[in-house]
Structures are given as structure tokens and as C-alpha cells.
Amino acid sequence: MYFPLGWPKRLKTPSGDSVLISHIVSSCDRMLFAVISKKTLSIWYSKPCVQIVTFTPCQKLFSEIGHFCKGEWKPDSSLVAITTQQNVVVFIKVEVDTSVKNHHCLYVMQEGKTPITPKININGILDSDSVPAIKLTYMAHVSLQSHISCFLSVRDELVVATIDGCLNRLRWTGNKNEKATLHLNDIPVSADLQQFRATRLSSGNSHVCEMEYSPTLGGYSMVLSSGRAVFVIPPSSRGEKTNAHGVWAQEVNDAATVAVNHRYRLIAFGCFSGDGIVYHLDEAVGALEISHRLVISSKEFPDAGLIAGQVTCMKWTPDGTALALAWKNGGLSLWSVFGSLLLCTLGGDYSSSTDSGSLYPAPIVSMEWGLEGYHLWMVSKSVAQTKNGSDPGDNKHREEGDSESINAETNYCTQLLQFQFVKSALTVNPCMSNHEHVFLQGEDKLYMSTGDTMSRSNLHHNHSQQQKPNSGSSSINMGAGYIGNKQWQVIPISHSYLASNWPIRYASVDRAGQCVAVAGKTGFAHYALFSRKWKLFGNETQERDMVVSGGITWWKDFVCLACFNIQGQRDEIRCYPRTAKLDNTFAKVLQVQSQVLLLNTFRDMLITFCADSHVAMFSLERKNVQSNPSVQITKVQEISLTSFIPHPLCVAGLTLTSLMSESVNPKLHPSSKEAESMLVSVSGKLLMFQRDRSGPQIKEEKNKHRPVPFCNPSVVATSVENLWTTTRANVGKVQLMEAMWLGCGSHGMKVWLPLFPRDEGKAHNFMSRRIMLPFRVDIYPLAVLFEDAVILGAACDVVSYTFSSSSYKNMDMPFCTLERTSQIYLHHILRQLLRRNLGVNALDLARSCKELTYFPHVLELLLHEVLEAEATSKEPIPDPLLPRVVAFIQEFPEFLQTIVHCARKTEVALWPYLFSTVGNPKDLFEMCLLNKDLETAATYLIILQNLEKPIVSRQLATILLDSALDRGTWELCRDLVRFLKAIAFPSSPPLSPTGSDYSYSNVSNVGRLRTSSIVEPRDVKLSMPGTAKEKVRHTVSDSIVGGSKKAATKSKPGEPTAEQVYIDMILCRHARKLLASSQIRTLGYFAANMDDFHFVSWLKRERVRAGKLDDFVSAIQTVHSQFEWPMPALSASFLHQLKKSAASSSSLSSSAVEDDLLGPAGDKGDGELIQPLTPVNICKTEEVRGRTIPHRLSEQALSQMGSDEILLRPQLMRTDEISLATIETSDSNSLLGDYEVVNDSVMGGIGEALSLDLEGMSQEAAVSRGPEQAHLELEYLLHIMLEASCLEWALILAVVLRDSLAVVRVVNTASLTDTPLDMIGRMREGLSYLELWADTECLGYKPFLHKIRGEIHVLSKLVETSTSSAPSLSLDVSSAVQNSLEGDSLSSTLSVDEGNLSPTIQSIRADLDALDIEEQGEEDTVQTTKPSDCVIS
Amino acid sequence: MLEVIATLPRGPVFLAGETLCCNVTFTNSSADNQSAEEVLAWSSVQIICQCTVSESRVQLPRTTALSTEEASTTGCETSFVPNKGERGLTVLCTKPKILFCDLKLAPGATRTYQYEEVIPTDAPPSFRGQAVKYSYKVIVGTQRLEKTTKMVRVPFRVLVLFGLNDISVYNETEEIAPSNPFLNNSRKENSVLDVGLQEVISLYFIFIFNTDSYNIANGRGKVARFLLFKQAYKLGEDIVGMFDFDVGTVPCVQYSVTLQSEEKISEECRRKPGQGTAITSYVKHQEMCLNTLRTHMNIPIPLTATPGFMTDIVCQRWRLHFEFVTSLDKVDGPESVPADCEEHQWQGANTLNVETMVWDLPIKVFPTNPIHASSVTLMKTSALINMANG
């Protein structure tokens, strides 16, 4: 298709009134342009764009005939006829000026003394940059009896219409052909050719305003002065019809101008209303029927008709694939053959830059397409104020000359402009491979969209790797990414080729998008993208000897083309190998008897359409016998289409395809199918010729290669601009691959989709139907990516360059660029299928495309479009599609997400309709929660917020917040907190969410301020199972709530609001949960991400509650695992010892821990086993083994009677971490005491030395820390814990960090501040257990604990001093500790579980716990002394 | 049979400073289930940049890295010498990363490893000049037990954004890093790609509104006025300029604009002292403008070109080369013919006495989004070797 590029080029024309240009008309070959002004005729050359000659008749003649008006060329370009104001037709001869030297060329450049380079002239074809010299001679003039309204050059005659209603015929010699003169009133006109009641034209339709003749339609299309339009078939010379007769164009009575498309047999009328109507001739009845209308929709530009005015000029492009249309008040539009709007310069970016009112471009008086449609020559009329740059004296001089006309007309001047265009290669060369790319050809450049080629090569690569499991999905995604890539790849066409062969007629790209070939005036050239080199004919004579006439295409490594051999004066098909030099010696040449008009390939077939209306098929076979590859062309079949086509020119496309109207079940057919049908596009009507397999099969026996004949054609579709089929195969997407796509201009696109039967079991069912589904497209389609379910296209985009200098103000016009567009089409098809009750097929189709990245988007679009259509429909819909669509989407996991995204993008008013079909959004919300899709749930929340009462949305938000906190999705948590705040105070600006995409409908919430009475019951409910301590907390919060109630009612600033308290409560609860379950890393993230959470102050409050820590060992272990912090490692020898002991204890879990401990250093450790195992060591370990087993047994017995204190603790953890760690802990703890004894007795003497050693080794080990991030986090948490005097945790962290100074700080804090005694007690105890644990399980900690021995001592001192100060109370204290312990453990356990368990279960657990603790208490006194002993020793 | 495939999933173009990611897949492709499992001793990956120079023009200072000959003689057959078999000088060689040691693959089994390496920001760009070439490759070396080392090479292209040295500078701009380490994780690091593109954009803004107007004149007078809307371009962009011949007093017959790059060898590396710069032409726009008032040019910068850069050896600059063919005599238009009563005919001049004047306008060319550039670079993004049993 055609797209403008850049700015229009402005050409130099003489200024002044006498040279106001009235008309421009090109010669038949479009090489010469006649520019007619009042008094002159100028001839311009197309390229280079220069003026050749200007002819001015003498003044005397002008006074006789009047000024020039319009011109027409004789078809052989030897004469120009010009009409004048006074009923005269002037004939001016155009001939080459042979007096001019150097091959009669003008503007030959000579630089210095170097001789002029002679112009090359082979076969009478000049170089593209040489300008032929032309002289004009006045021949004759003919006067007519009446004023001339329009005239037309038809074959060897001129038809001149005069206002008296006559159609006069003039010969080019200047004689009238009086016999052939017709009068309009003599022509009978009817609605169609079959009607007898034809009427003569009344006097109102007095004369012809505009007319055009089309040989393919065989008649004149005329616009009458009454505004009616008529198609007149002239009297046939063959005699069957002796009289001319006409057919009315129905429904048009304000026609202003006409343009006829020969190739597509269309008649376009431009109307006074500013619209265009395009008719086609119904051959059966001979009536004109409307094909489509050219209307600027109000979306494009409102009131186009009023502002732009009537249609003044319309011109079809030379290839008939686009129509340029201009209006009276300015503006230009471009339409594809069947009515897609390609360009409209009304509104948008085109007019905004200039001062208001004037349209861009200025009103076009006359226009004409240049060669191959690369240029549009326009004569535009603009107000003459811009000429300040040119000499004003000149103007004055002219003013004197013809002063009377100045007043009337000199307020405008004319400009000659040249708009540049690029066009799709499909317009003239619709071969298979061009259909697979967005490939555009410009005057000197080729544009190719890069994305699709890349994705192709990727996909191709993919196929080769299909077996490999990993590569598949990722590269498909990559491909999808490239589809969105809008970068053009611009290939400049070889300058040396262009210099002699401008313009490029045909361009072709190969399937892979790697090689391109172009053919210009003569010869051709090709280019490979990978080498970035053009290949031209080495022998220029060979290049000049051939003219590519019927297209050029790629077949494998060969360029196949149809050409005319000038030397041999014959038509040929040639194949040139790409790899060899470009020379005829490597080419395979096959002569054909008639000119080839179209060329295409299908697999190894070459198909041609010739000027004699015959289709010929050739098989291509690659031969590699010589050093250079060659191809063998064998003619397979020839079919005459004469009876099916009106004119060979009308065939716009020719394709072979494997498709059949009844698609065969893919399972039964191999992937490489034969050419089953031939598709021929005749003037937009798509004919399908299927192979006739019904005939007797004897033929095949006789001759294997005998081709199967074709059936008579069936019409598949009309108004077809382009069609896409593919020869690729993809087993997964048969439905898409077997489809055929049609571009139908304003009728959108159509897909001819196969419908495969569901149950393949039935034998008779193997044939299936096809269905034609139309759908809208917003882009102009140029390529269909079958597998990706995407259409690619191009569009014109506009860039505004601003000019700083004021003198360029009038140039402030837009610069046109090319844009690559793409569109997903899958949802259209799915919708159509669902509408037709073909849900099964829709499902099959959708499932095959599930892996596409934009598949969720497709579902969303599907739902959205149906919803919009049905919810906004004014009449009730008898059979709504929405339920079906919803049911369809439900089949996919993206269901919930699709619904909510769609809802978000539609108006609130449509929601009830949507949810009445989909179901209660609350249920959907809960489904999201169940599916753990919190993000989607959050989106539902916004919907619910608009539909439900605030209380409900608060409730749901709270639930969501809880799960979000549990999942640690902090972003979402933050948003939810903001949300919770905002729904209570929608009007307060600081609380309104900023930066989030949440939209709140404020209206629904105004005045529904939540009262705190709602909070309280909920609050109570939450904390109901709490113990005494919990109650205390509750009362505290309650008082805050109470306070806030007042605050809310009195609206006192500064007080915490009820909302704030409510949120704080949720946050605190979660924080407590985290802390109590020792998840301090998560707590760190939580605190950092929740802006409303005051970490330190909360910790201060919690340090004696949730912050209390009883089991140091498991705490250390969980910290290690949370932060991925390696346990301190020891040297190999020690570990070896440890292993032995662990093995002896036969505890699988602990040995596993050691393996972990070995970690990264483990491998190296094996090599560095320095310390040999001494007999002592061995015996020692044996000792250990010997002793541990009985002790384990005794321990078990002990735990039955009443276990020690530590055994209980893991129950706190059990709810969250059912990990090995807890089991280990209990195991090891129970071992501890005895092992210590063993250690003492056996190791005894070496103990001291060992500890020294250990210290040294731990120095090394200290280097192997965990990740840096974890380190920072630990340090930060340590700092926070210290600040909040949450000393137990601080101690743990200090130990994990092996930061002895921090331990000192912790101990100091403990001693200095009013730290609760029980806390110090717990710390000391904890440390003791740690030591025990280190001795048995984690020897790596031993050196560090050894190091902080002093601090442990200090701690025990602290405990002792406080106990000794009140010795009598010691037991009480411990019992108090027990009590508080009990309470704490309960509360923390409960806080973990609250909300999850029913109160009864909780109470049961509480009872159990209490029991345990009592038992513990008994044991306590026994245990306490032991650890302290160990410490001292 | 053992198959090694190395692929660059992102495409073959990278911006220096980016992390290159390469997937290396090892497959034991022997179909026979009875055959023994393959044992690979090790595999290691490295990125190298080879610099090849034209000996007649460039003299390299012998201080830089080992030349290939030296390097290849030092290593025996079984060691990993990434630049073995490569020509020229290795100017960049990342530290080898070991993918595995002792990999056992049963028949039909496949293992994929991901290799990541940052391309240093101070690396030279991929460049194919007339005297100097820089080419990058990912080299995967693999050795089967007791066999010689085999290598898979994946070529790729590096774009360098000059002035983009330390990425951290761009990341610090936001605010002072938060003291809470727990927030660090959530904060998004600026990727090199983003920063690089931002940089390009900011450079853009320096030049974009700077519409330059040039009055082109020769000894006899004014020829034309030329408007250029930008001085800096990204690869793949169009250079749009407008010519206004209306203001000229000297008739201009024809003009041409050529996009050229200049490759200049640094002085210490030149073989001959007077050695000039090598010019490469890319796209030419030519037009006859005798009867043109106003026209424009639209020159695309090839996506495959190398943006301007400078290394110790070579420096590349971009320019637009203009040629104006002006007439020495006055060229008469049709209006020059006196408007008297006689019939007359004006015809264009037969010969034109012309002179050609040239002008070079330097422009800046920056890299573009490497993903865009990937889409046209037709480099293969994967390489494959088969290691047969031998």
C-alpha cells in the first residue's frame, strides 16, 4: 500500500498571474508531465525532476482562443491537446529535439576542461539521469460550437464534452469525427441493462462535467451537471448494439468528480458532500452497485465534509491499488482500493502546526501520479503572501501588465509540489514471500520491518531444536518481543543500478527475509542482508537487454523472474542463482509464448499468468551438477482462464495453495501437501479453482506426471485486496496454519477458517467445513504471522519539526514517517466462533495459542469487547454472548485475572452487568485468596470497594492484608494499608494513595465514616482468647480506640485516628507473630516495608512478651537458616572427631547438620587433614560411643517422668517450623549434660590446649561469613534490638555475628539499665545451653563462646547478686518467672494461632501447655545448678 | 557423540557494561542406549575481543597483551586457550569461568549451564574498519577425558556508549542509600541498558532542539540554505535535513549527501606518518535540484554500523559529506524569455558549465537499544560443535 514520506518537494515555477498552473497531466508512460498554465505549456521530466521546455503561443492566438485550461496527451506521447476558454482545442506536437547534441540530452554537465561523459544509449534506453531534449510545435486548433466542459483521450480519438450536451469526437490530426458525435439526450439510461424502461436524460442533466473511459469496463463513467452519475456504454463497432446506452449510478446525486480503476473495475465518484462513493459493475444485470464509500469518520476528523468542502480531484495510483482524493478547501486523503483509509491530512498533527483554519496541504487544483506511484505531483493553490523572499519588483511589473485580473485572482498563487510515497511490494508483485514480510519499496530505498524476520529466524531455529526441552518457551517469548519491534531496516538501493534503471518496478524478498531483489527499467539486482552487498550484472549489455515485466520472486537460492528479452524480442522466464555472479551464463532461460503478467511460487512450483489469459505451472528442480547451482524448469500444466476473466489486466493476484474448500483432516494427510487449489483474484473477486479429483483415476496409471485438472471456479470472497496463506506447517496450530486470510479494505479482514470435527473416531467425518469470519482491523494489514496470531502492517506517522527562524513559518508542516503497526486478531475470531456456537473450535484454537505471551491479553480483549457491546446496547439482547464468553474464559487459568482486568478497564456502570454473568466478585475474591493470587485479589478489592459497603471492603482488605503479610508481599501490604486508610477518609488528601493505580470512587464512601463501634467488637473478638497479659494489652489498645473515637468525633488533629489504630493493631499482631516464631529476618523486612510500623517502640513493648526467648539454641539455628549464615566451621581434624561422635550418637539428623556445616570449606578440608588420629583420640571417641547410648536410653526414661525445661520449648516452634532443627535440638539437649561429663573426664588435660587452638582456628573461620547483605541485615537488627533493649535477641544476634564486643554491649546494657531480672536469667541460661550445644553439636561455636566466657560470668553474677540480695524470694522469683513464662508462651502460641483455631481447641492447647510447664517447674530446680557449673569449669 | 550448543538468548548485540548471558547446553546425542555415558572433564567459558589490524597501515605498540602466536605456543593441546586459532591481538579477555568439572552424561541426557559475564564499559566496540577490526566472541572450551580441548565460539557485537563509565553514578542519583538494609532488596538497580538509553536520550536533548541552519555559499554567492534538525543520532535513525534553494543566488544543478565514517589511526600507531584517514561511505542521497525550491534528504544510519568511538589504536568519527554541483553561468528559466507577442519556446540548457564544491559536516552517532540492533544483525546467536568419539 501507499504511504507518504517526508515533506512534499517544492518545485520552481515562474511566479506571476500569467503562469498560474491550472492543470497537470502526464503522458501515458508517465515520463513527461505537461504543466498547463494560462498562457504556457511546460513539459517536465519525471526524473530528474527538471523542466524541459516551455511553450508560449503568440498573444494574437490567445486573443482568438482564450487562455489554456486543460490538457490531454495522445497515448503515444507525440501530441498534447489543450482546451481553452473559448471552445477551442489546441494541438501541440511534442517531439525529441534532434538538433541537440549528445544523444539529444539536456542539462549535460561539464566540469572544467574534462570532456563531457557521453551518455550511454543502449536499445534506445537512456540513462535515468539524462534528460531528453524536447521541442514543442503548434500544430492546429479546432473550434467547437459550445463551451468545453471536459475532454478525454480515448485510443486514437479525443472525446470532447461541451455544455450543450454533446460528446464530440476529434481525431488527433485535428479533424472532427462528426459522425460519431453523440448527444446526451439521445442516450437511454436505465437502472440496469436488463430493464427495458430506459429513459432519456432530461434537460436538467444537461452536460458532462467529468468523464473517464475504461477499457476493462468498456464504457465511459460520467458525472453530469445535475450531480448524477452515469455509466455509458458506447455503441459497439461490432454491431450488436448500435446505440449507446447508459446505466445510472444509484444513490448519488451530488457527484463532482470521477476516477476509474481499470484493474479492479471500480468507478469512484467524488461528491459535493466531501465523501466518495465507489461502484462496481454487476456483470450479471449490468447495474452499478455500491462497493464501498469513502467517508472520513468523525473519529478521524469531525465534519470533514463541511470543513474540507467538495471533492475536487481523485486519482488512482498507476497500479490501481490506492486512490488519492483531495478536497476544495485543502487536505488530501489516500484510500486503498477497497476503502481502507491510509492517509488523511485533515486534523490531527497535520493542521495543528499551522495557523487555524487553513488545511494542509493547500487546496489542490490538479494532481497526477508519477512513475510507479513514487510521487504525487500536485498543483496547489495558496494565498500569495509567502513570496516576500522573491523580488517584489517583478511582481509589480506584472501587476501593470494585467491589472484587471489582479483584483480578481492574484490573491493566490500556485505551487507545484511533489509528495513522495513508498508502497508495499505487494501492490505490483504479490508473490508468496512478499506476503510474509512487511516489505515496502520506495524510490531509492527498501523498507523492511525487522521484528518479524528476527522472530522467524528464531522460530526456525526453534524448530530445529524442538526436541530439546529447554529452549522452546524462552525463544518463543523472544520472538514475541521482536514482533513488537518497530525498527525499520532500510536498504538503500544500489546507486549504480538506480542511475540507469530508475524507477524500481518490482521488489521481492525471500522467505527468510535475508535476500531482496529489485527490478527497474531494465535488468535487476539483488542484495543479501548478511553480506550487505548488492549484486549487479557484470555485463551492462545483459542488463539493458532485458526488461522484467511480470514480477520477480525468490525460489530457494534462485531469483525467478519473467522478462522481455529486447535482443531476441521474446518473453522469457529466467532463474538466476544467488550465489553465482550475476550473468546470463548462469541463468536458466525458458521461452514463453506470451508476456507474463504475474508470477508466483508454491513449494517447488512456479506459476505464471500470461497476457493471453493462460496460467502455466512449472516445476522447479535444483541441479547441482556443475560448480554453480542451476535449476531445471519443466512445464507441468497450462490452463486457460479466458472464460473466467474479463481482461488479463484485471488479474491482481495468483496463488497456488494446499487449501481446499473442504479441509481434509490434518491427521490423515502428510504435512507436505500438494497444490490443491489455485486462487485467482480477478478485480478483487477471489476465484478458487480446485483440483478435480472426481474424474477417472486411469490417467494416473497411464502417465504418472499427468497433472490433475481443475474444477470450475467458485467465488470465495469479493473485495479482496490481499490474501495470505502459508506453506509452513505447525502441528500444534493446524487451525491457524490451514486458515486463509483476506484483506478486504473497508470491509475489514476475513479469515477462512477450517473447522475440524471433534470426534475423529467416525470415519465418515474426516472431511470438515470451513467458515468465513469477518473482523475489523485498525491497521492496514501487510503480513500475517500465522503462528503468532498477529497481523503486521504499516501506517503513516507524523513528526513535527519546528523551525526557529520566522521566515520558515509557512513550512511548519508535518514530516511524514513510516510506522510499523501490529494487531492481535485472535479475540475477534474467538468471538465470532462463540457467536456461531462453535465453542469447541474456539477452545481448540485458543488452546493452541496458550503459550503466546499476549494470550491473557487476548482473553481480556474478548471479554471487554463483548461486554461493551452488550452492556451498552439499548435494546434487550435475545441471545447474549457474554455468558458464553465467560464460560469460555473459565476454561483457562487466567480466568480470575481476566475478569478483574477487564472490569478495571470498563466503566463502573457496566460492572453489574458483568458480575451478574460472572458471579459475585466477593466469591471471585475468595477464589483468588484460595489460589494464593494476592495481586489479583487486590484488584478485586478495588472492584468490591465500589460495589460493596465500606465495612465489607474493609473486612476483605483485612483478610487480604493478613495473607499478604504472611506471604511477605510487602508492596501489596503497603498498598493495602494505604487502601485501608483511604476508604475511611476519602476526602483527606494526604491519605489518598499516590503513585498507585488504585482508583477510588469517592462518592460512594462520603458520609459513611466508619464508627469505632464497629472496630471494637472485632477487636474484642480477635483478642478474646487472650490471657491476662493479652487483656492488659487489650485494655491499652481499647483506651486508644476510645480516645480515637473522641478524636474522630471531635476531629481533633494530632490524635491517632481509629483507622490508624486499627491498622497498627493488625501490623503489631503480625509482627508479634513473626517475633514469637523467631522469624526475625521476615520481621526485618516487615518493619522496613511497613511505613506505619514503629519498630523500636514496638519492640520495647514486646521485649518481655513476644521478644522473650527461652530456647537460645533453636533461635541460633533458625537465625542461621533464615539468613543463610554459615555455622562457624572448625578445622578438618576437629570436624572429623565431631563426625565420629555424631556417628556414634547415631543421630541421622545431627550428622546431616554437620554435612551442612562442612559447607563450602568441606572439600578443601578433606585435603587438609593435618592432625593424625592418635590412638587416644580413637579410644576417646569409642568412649563417647559407649557412653552415649545408655544415656540416651536413660534420657528417654527421664523425659517420661518429666522432661527438662528445654524439651518443651520447641513446641513454640512447632507450629511454624516442623523442621529437623527442632528435633535435633531436643535430641542434643537431652544429651548435653552427660556429654559434658564425658568431655571433662576424657579430654581433661588437652582441653586447655584445644581451646587455644580453637580460638586460632575460629579466627580463620570468621573470615568465611555469610552473604554481605545478610551481614548488613544482622548488624542492623542487632542495633535495633539493642536500642529497644530486647536483649535476648540482641545477644543471639551478637553470637551469630560472633561479635564479642556486641556481647559486651548487651551485657552492659543488661547490667546498667533496669532490665527485668528474668530476662537476664534467661540470657544466662540460654548461654549455658548454647555452650552445651556448642560442645556437642556445633563445635564451631566453641571458640567464640570461650571468648565471651567473661560476659557469661558477668551475667551469672548479675543473676546471683539479685537473687542473693533477696535469697528468700529466690524461689518466688523463679516461680514468677515461671508464671510470666507461662503467660508469655501462651500468648505467643496463641498469637500465632489466633484466628485459625476455634477457642475450644485453643483452650485445650493452653491446658496442655500449662501442664507441661508445671512439670517443667519441678525439674527446674534440679537443672539450674548444673549449667552454671559447666560454665565455671 | 557429544553436542555442545552455546546460545545468546538476548540476541547478539550488547551494550558495554551489560551482562552477557550465554546458555551452554551439553547433550549426549548418541541414540544408542547401550553406549556408555560420556564424561566431560571440564568446561570453561570466556569472552575475548580480538583486534586485527592491517599490517600495512597500523603498527602496534608491543606493550599490549600476548599476541596469538605467543599465546598458542604456551598452551598445549589439552589446555584452554580461548584465542587459539584466532587472528590478531587479544585486547580483552575476561576471567575464565568454570561451568563444571567431571560431568557425566548418560545417552540422551542434556545439561544446560548459564554463563554470565559483564562486558567491561571500557571495552572497545565491535568494529570492522579498513585498517582495524575489533571482534568479540564467547568461547566455550570443553574437554573430554584424555581428548583434546574443543571450543565453541559465538560471535557477538558490542556497542559502546562513550562517557558511560561507571554505572553506579547513575544509581546514586536517586537519594542517599537507605540505612535499612532490608529495603535494599526492594530497590531496583538501574540496568546498564536503562542508564545507557537514558544517557542517549539526555545527549539527545542537548542536540534535539538545536536546529542548525547553514548558509551554503561559494565564491560567487549563496548556493542554498541547509537545515539540520539534530546533530546527534542513534543507530537506525534517519538523518533528516532540508535544503532551501530559494534563497540561493548561484544556480545549483545537483547535490548529493553521503553518510561517511572516518577511521583515523592514532599517531603512534601509524605505519607512515602522513597516513590519512580512511573514509567509508554508507548511504548516498543524490538529487538534481535545478528546478527545485525546497527539498529534503532522509538518510538512514545503518543499524549495523559502529557508532563513533576512540581507542588507543583507532578513532572513528561520523560526518555528512555534501557535494554541490553549481553552475558557473546563470541558468535561465522560462520566465527569462521576454513576454512579447511572438510565439516562443524556452528550452533547458544543453550543457551546463559546472563546478563541484564539497563540504563535510561532522555529526555524532550513538548506539541504540541493543535489542533493536539485534533484530537486524544477522549474526547467528548460537554455535554448535559435535564432539565425535575420536
Q: What is the ipTM of this complex?
A: 0.88
Residue A908 CA to its chain's centroid (Å)? 27
* Sheet strands (E) in A502-580: 506-509, 515-519, 524-528, 533-535, 546-555, 558-565, 570-577
Residues B222 and B244 in one domain: yes
CA A455, A456, A461, A467 torsion-angle sign: positive
What are the grid coordinates assigned to A597, written together? 503478467
What is the secondary structure of A1060-1073 as a DSSP string? HHHHHHHHHHHHHH
Bridge partners of residue A421, in order along the sequence: A4
CB–CB of A1209/A1226 below 8 Å? no
Residues B154 and B214 in one domain: no
Q: Which of B347, B353, B369 to mutate to test the interface with A (most CBs of A within 10 A)?
A: B347
Residues B226 and B256 in one domain: yes
Residues of B in contact with A59 (CB under 8 A): 340-341
Interatomic CA distance for residues A835 and A880, integer angstroms: 9
CA of A859 to nearest chain B CA: how many angstroms apart?
A: 28
Cell 514471500 maps to which residue?
Answer: A433
Interface contact flag, A529 B346, Cβ < 8 Å: no
Interface contact flag, A1269 B294, Cβ < 8 Å: no
Interface contact flag, A490 B300, Cβ < 8 Å: yes
Residue B5 CA to its chain's centroid (Å)? 26
Q: Is residue B240 part of a domain?
A: yes
What are the grid coordinates assigned to A579, written together? 550465489
Residues B357 and B264 in one domain: yes
Taking a contact as any Cβ pair under 8 Å apart, which residues of chain B between 22 and 61 contact chain A?
A: 23, 25, 27
| CA closest to A473 among chain B residues | B9
pLDDT of residue A1029: 35
- Residue by residue, what is the 3-state secondary structure of A418-447? EEEEEEEHHHCCCCHHHHHCCEEECCCEEE
What are the grid coordinates assigned to B35, written together? 553406549
CA of B180 to nearest chain A CA: how many angstroms apart?
A: 7
Determine contact: A113 vs chain B, CB below 8 A.
no
pLDDT of residue A294: 93
What are the grid coordinates assigned to A462, written together? 526453534
What are the grid coordinates assigned to A659, written together? 487449501
Residues of B in contact with A1091 (CB under 8 A): none
Residues B312 and B262 in one domain: yes
What are the grid coordinates assigned to B239, written together? 538523518
Residues B242 and B376 in one domain: no
Residues of B in contact with A135 (CB under 8 A): 345, 347
Interatomic CA distance for residues A559 and A536, integer angstroms: 13
Residues B329 and B376 in one domain: no
Taking a contact as any Cβ pair under 8 Å apart, which residues of chain A between 802 and 841 contact chain B?
A: 802-805, 808, 811, 815, 817
Helix, strand, or coil (residue A650): helix
Residue B71 CA to its chain's centroid (Å)? 28
What are the grid coordinates assigned to A424, written together? 508495499
Beta strands at B232-234 and B351-366: parallel, antiparallel or unpaired: parallel
pLDDT of residue A1313: 67
Q: What are phi and psi of A619, to 5 degrees?
A: -100, 140
Determine contact: A114 vs chain B, CB below 8 A.
no
pLDDT of residue A1014: 30
Residue B113, H or E segment: strand B110-118
CB atoms within 10 A of CB B295: 24
| CA closest to B328 among chain A residues | A111
Cell 526488461 maps to which residue?
Answer: A547
- Of all residues in chain B, the percent with pLDDT exceeding 70 is 77
Interatomic CA distance for residues A1330 and A1336, integer angstroms: 10
Interatomic CA distance for residues B224 and B245, integer angstroms: 5
CB–CB of B375/A484 below 8 Å? no
Residue A122, H or E segment: strand A121-122
What are the grid coordinates assigned to A1099, written together? 519492640
Q: Is residue B196 part of a domain?
A: no
Q: Is residue B172 part of a domain?
A: no
Cα angle for residues B124, B126, B128 (degrees, 5° grid): 120
Residue A1354, H or E segment: helix A1349-1365
Helix, strand, or coil (residue A468): coil
Q: Is residue B167 part of a domain?
A: no
pLDDT of residue A1140: 55
- CATH code of residue B128: 2.60.40.640
Length of chain A: 1433
CB–CB of A258/A211 below 8 Å? yes
Per the model's pLDDT, the better-predicted residue between A388 and B38 turns out to be: B38
Residues B13 and B156 in one domain: yes
Mean pLDDT confidence for B209-237: 84
* Closest partner CB to A804 (pick from B181, B186, B211): B211
Residues of A in contact with B110 (CB under 8 A): 468-470
Interface contact flag, B247 A389, Cβ < 8 Å: yes
Residues of A in contact with B177 (CB under 8 A): none
Helix, strand, or coil (residue A858): helix
Interface contact flag, B227 A803, Cβ < 8 Å: yes
- Residue by residue, what is the 3-state secondary structure of B157-209? EEECCCCCCCHHHHHHCCCCCCCCHHHHCCCCCCCHHHHHHHHHHHHHHHHHC
Bridge partners of residue A1239, in order along the sequence: none
Q: Which residues of chain A have pLDDT under 50?
A: 353-354, 385-410, 453-481, 666-668, 670-671, 697-703, 761-766, 805-809, 986-1054, 1142, 1144-1252, 1254-1263, 1365-1433
Taking a contact as any Cβ pair under 8 Å apart, which residues of chain A between 1248 and 1307 contact chain B?
A: 1269, 1272-1273, 1275-1276
Residues B150 and B242 in one domain: no
DSSP A711: -
What is the domain range of residue B146? 2-160+372-387
Residues B376 and B358 in one domain: no
CB–CB of A327/A311 below 8 Å? yes
Closest CA to B325 of B247, B226, B224: B224
Q: Is residue B185 part of a domain?
A: no
Number of H helices, E strands in chain A: 44, 63
Interface contact flag, A9 B180, Cβ < 8 Å: no
Residues B221 and B353 in one domain: yes
Q: Is residue B44 part of a domain?
A: yes
pLDDT of residue A1174: 36
Q: For the whole model, what pTM was predicted?
A: 0.77
Interface contact flag, A468 B110, Cβ < 8 Å: yes
Interatomic CA distance for residues B190 and B173, integer angstroms: 10
Taking a contact as any Cβ pair under 8 Å apart, which residues of chain B between 317 and 356 contact chain A?
A: 325, 333-335, 337, 339-356
Q: Is residue B177 part of a domain?
A: no
Helix, strand, or coil (residue B103): strand
Q: Is residue B343 part of a domain?
A: no
Cell 535515468 maps to which residue?
Answer: A128
Q: For residue A614, which amino acid is it?
A: H
Length of chain B: 390
| CA closest to A130 among chain B residues | B288
Q: Which of A7, A43, A53, A107 to mutate to test the interface with B (most CBs of B within 10 A)?
A: A107
What are the grid coordinates assigned to A413, written together? 498563487
Interface contact flag, B291 A57, Cβ < 8 Å: no
CB–CB of A904/A888 below 8 Å? no
Residues of A in contact with B351 (CB under 8 A): 102, 107-110, 116
| CA closest to A803 among chain B residues | B211
Q: What are phi and psi of A1115, to 5 degrees?
A: -65, -45
Q: What are phi and psi of A424, to 5 degrees?
A: -70, 145
Domain count for chain B: 2
Interface contact flag, B343 A58, Cβ < 8 Å: yes
| CA closest to A456 among chain B residues | B375
Residues B213 and B126 in one domain: no
Closest CA to A1205 of A1412, A952, A920, A986: A1412
Distant-in-sequence, close-in-space partners of A698: CB < 8 Å, separation ≥ 6 = none
Bridge partners of residue A214, in order along the sequence: A219
| CA closest to B6 among chain A residues | A471
Determine contact: B9 vs chain A, CB below 8 A.
yes
* Closest partner CB to A514 (pick from B303, B343, B378): B378
pLDDT of residue A523: 93
Interface contact flag, A815 B287, Cβ < 8 Å: no
Closest CA to A59 of A14, A18, A92: A18
Cα angle for residues A1091, A1095, A1097 (degrees, 5° grid): 125
Q: Which of B234, B247, B350, B379 to mutate to test the interface with A (most CBs of A within 10 A)?
A: B350
Residues of B in contact with A97 (CB under 8 A): 347
Helix, strand, or coil (residue A336): strand
